[in-house]
Amino acid sequence: MAILKVARLGNPVLRAPAPEVPVADIARADFQRLVDDMVVTMREYDGVGLAAVQVHESLQVAVLEVAENPRYPGKGAVPLSILVNPIIAPLGDETEEDWEGCLSIPEIRGLVPRYKRLRVTALDRDGKELDFVAEGFHARVIQHEVDHLRGHVYLDRMPDLSTLTYLTELARYGANR
């Protein structure tokens, strides 16, 4: 397994909508290796999620895991999940704002509104169909990662860019609002 280089904002790979993973490719060794490498890369950089486009692979696959993450303390746990070709639909129109960061936009946080509840359908790394409801921070991470697969970053979802702050300044001065 290998720690992969993470594409940073400005790299065109982050702005191109990723094509679906052909179902027949899921069992291939190179696809399975990509998933393994994405997991170790996410953990290496203390991410809670990572989309394939962030490691220069334009494919609809994302990994996520929330387990007492030092970058997001107190946010609850989400077991390691692999989402291939995910589709999300909001359940209700209730949204909430919270801080987000992104490994492709280092050191920065901004307040982003997201749907509180989602229905998620996807395939897992074995090609098995997933169909579940995600809420709260779990739903937020999934919306962030699916945005990556569509060529969006969280900055595009911010109604008020004045909340942007460096992490060190957020700790020092608190929210800028």
Give catalytic residues, as residue numbers.
145
82 binds Ni ion (CB under 5 A): no
Report d(CA 49, CA 141) in Å as an integer. Answer: 7
- Using CB under 5 A, count the residues that bind Ni ion: 1
Position 78: which residue type?
V
Which of 102/149 has CB closer to Ni ion? 102
CB 141 within 8 A of CB 78: yes
Q: Which of 16, 35, 18 is nearest to 26 (CA)?
A: 35
> 14 CB contacts (<8 Å, ≥6 apart)?
7, 53, 54, 104, 148, 151, 153
CB 26 within 8 A of CB 39: no
Q: Which stretch binds Ni ion (CB under 5 A): 13-21, 55-63, 69-77, 96-104?
A: 96-104
Which of 48/123 has CB closer to Ni ion? 48
In whole angstroms, the minimum distance from the beta carbon of 14 to Ni ion comes to: 9
Residue with the CB atom nearest Ni ion in the bound state: 102
In whole angstroms, the minimum distance from the beta carbon of 108 to Ni ion comes to: 11
Helix (H, G, I), strand (E, B) or coil at 137: helix
In whole angstroms, the minimum distance from the beta carbon of 51 to Ni ion comes to: 7
Indicate which single residue of 4, 66, 102, 149 sits in contact with Ni ion (rule: CB under 5 A): 102
In whole angstroms, the minimum distance from the beta carbon of 102 to Ni ion comes to: 3
In Å, how far from its chain's centre is CA 22?
Answer: 21
Report d(CA 112, CA 74) in Å as an integer. Answer: 18
Q: Which stretch binds Ni ion (CB under 5 A): 72-80, 85-93, 97-105, 167-175?
A: 97-105
Residues at the site binding Ni ion, with contacts judged by CB under 5 A? 102
